[in-house]
Amino acid sequence: MTLHAGIVGLPNVGKSTLFNAITQVGAEAANYPFCTIDPNVGMVEVPDSRLQILADMVHPKKIVSATVEFVDIAGLVKGASKGEGLGNKFLSHIREVDAIVHVVRCFDDENVIHVEGNVNPKRDIETIDLELILADMESVDKRSDRTAKLLKMGDKKAQGEVSLIERLKEAFNQGKGARSLTYTDEEREILKGFPLLTLKPVLYVANVSEEGLSAAADNPYVQQVMSIASEEGAEAVVVCAQIEAEIAELEDDEKEVFLQDLGLKESGLDQLIRVAFDLLGLMTFFTAGPMEVKAWTIYQGTKAPRAAGVIHTDFEHGFIRAEVVSYKDFVENNGLNGARDKGLVRLEGKEYVMQNGDIVHFRFNV
């Protein structure tokens, strides 16, 4: 399972520079709107210090990290929902991702063009939000026509959908996205058939200048972004895309020294990747053996058979039980044998809910 995160924002806010830093694939970054037409796609490993610790104990032939796929999507302008700029392409690309990473410019630079003439994070965020809401309104209107026909035909399930559609329309007319509402389990099932952009979880990235990184807490632009994120219950991180691009080119030991000089414990990108991974309620379990130590991605609350199926469908279909030890117990007892001697290795059945950091060996029969 891989999280697909779309990097969005107005033109010239630093999306492609950030993407280059994250993935190091060399997406074109230039000082003019619509530089990114077709989305660039890159995979990046999720930072997890536990992997190396496990590898140092097990000595596998290889280490495999969990991954996030980042998609650098074309900059959006007013009227995108009506096809302005690259609007139709932009919106179709957003529909394909699991989460939205919204980059917001939080620095002044007369040498970098802003499509609106000046920097204003609140206005810029509202521009993107409005276009997504307008696109969702169009989707809901089309769905409403279909539902009305079903209701006339006596479809009882359509009544619940009519009520949900009315709630969505009311929210959209107030300038609020689908994320602003709470839903019943029944409504969540109905929503699976709605391609709503404003239902996707959002991570705001306040992109500051190199000089402004140390004073980000006092930056009024950053404060605007943090305030909006707080009101929405969304996540937000502060990065300097330009510095992150420089850090990405360094070797690991050089990177550590560079971060220390900046007074940082981790890079902004490591924080961004980790938060993006958490955004959808994902977590990691491990398999550890002489061939490989590998991180596997599952949703929080996943039961053992479904987790086994992430490795191979045969594991889920023929699931017998899971041999489980927590990461903490594994490390503190020098591996599987030490944990087993202490009675810390458990045999779990089909109802076991996986925990973050579990080290597992699945028993199955095909």
The CA distance from 270 to 319, in Å, is 35
Q: Do 32 and 84 belong to one domain?
A: yes
The distance between the two most distant Cα atoms of the chain, rounded to a whole number of Å, is 69
Q: What is the CA radius of gyration of the chain?
A: 23
Structural domain count of the chain: 3
Do residues 172 and 199 touch, judged by C-beta distance below 8 A? no
Torsion, CA 315, CA 318, CA 320, CA 323, rounded to 10: -10
Residues pairing with 114 in the sheet: none
> Which residues does the annotation place in the binding site for ATP?
12-17
Let me know whether 187 and 210 are in one domain: no
The span from the CA of 139 to the CA of 199, in Å, is: 13
Is 288 a domain residue?
no
Give the end of a domain, one of 197, 222, 237.
Answer: 197
302-336 pLDDT, tens digit per residue, is: 999 999 999 999 999 999 999 999 999 999 999 99
Question: Can you give the pLDDT at residue 355?
Answer: 97
Q: How far from 25 is each of 72, 90, 171, CA to CA, in Å?
A: 11, 21, 40
User: What's the pLDDT tens digit per position in 216-245?
Assistant: 778 999 999 999 999 998 999 999 998 888
**Distance (Å, whole) CA 158 – CA 186:** 12
For residue 213, is it within any domain?
yes
pLDDT class of 159 with cuts at 50, 70, 90: confident
Model confidence pLDDT, tens digit, residues 256-309:
888 888 778 888 888 888 888 888 889 999 999 999 999 999 999 999 999 999
Q: Are residues 86 and 105 in the same domain?
A: yes
Distance CA 341, CA 282 (A): 31
Distance in angstroms (rounded) separating the CA atoms of residues 13 and 112: 9
Q: Are residues 237 and 177 in the same domain?
A: no
The CA distance from 282 to 203, in Å, is 15
CA 91 to chain CA mean position, Å: 17
177-196: per-residue pLDDT in tens? Answer: 999 999 999 899 888 888 89
- Residue 260 shares a structural domain with residue 338: no
Q: Mapping DSSP to helix (H, G, I), strand (E, B) and coil, where does residue 263 land?
A: coil
Global pTM value: 0.82
Question: Does residue 276 contact residue 3 with C-beta atoms inside 8 Å?
Answer: yes
At residue 193, the pLDDT reads 83
Instruction: Tell me the per-residue pLDDT of 49-103, one tens digit each, with 9 for 90 and over.
Output: 999 999 999 999 999 999 888 888 765 555 544 544 444 556 777 888 889 999 9
State the amino acid at position 204 in one-letter form: Y
Q: Do 36 and 116 reside in the same domain of the chain?
A: yes
End position of a domain, from candidates 176, 197, 218: 197
Residue 254: how many other CB atoms lie within 10 Å: 11
The CATH code of the domain that includes 249 is 3.40.50.300
Tokens 């889920």 label which residue?
316
Residues at the annotated binding site? 12-17
Does residue 33 form part of some domain? yes
For residue 55, is it within any domain? no
- 172 within domain boundaries: yes
For residue 128, what is the enclosing H or E element? helix 121-152
| Residues sharing a CB contact under 8 Å with residue 132, sequence separation 6 or more, in sequence order | 81, 91, 94, 177, 197, 198
Same domain, 16 and 103: yes
Same domain, 40 and 79: yes
For residue 51, tell me if it sits in a domain.
Answer: no
- Give the C-alpha distances (Å, rounded to integers) separating 62 from 56, 88, 293, 328: 11, 42, 7, 22
What are the φ and ψ backbone dihedral angles of 349, each rounded to 5 degrees? Answer: -100, -160
Please report the sign of the dihedral spanned by the C-alpha atoms of residue 245, residue 251, residue 253, residue 257: negative
Task: Write out the DSSP string of 280-320.
Answer: TTEEEEEEESSSEEEEEEEETT-BHHHHHHHH-HHHHHTEE
* DSSP single-letter state for residue 353: B
Q: Which domain holds residue 82?
A: 3-45+67-120+201-279
Does one domain contain both 261 and 352?
Answer: no
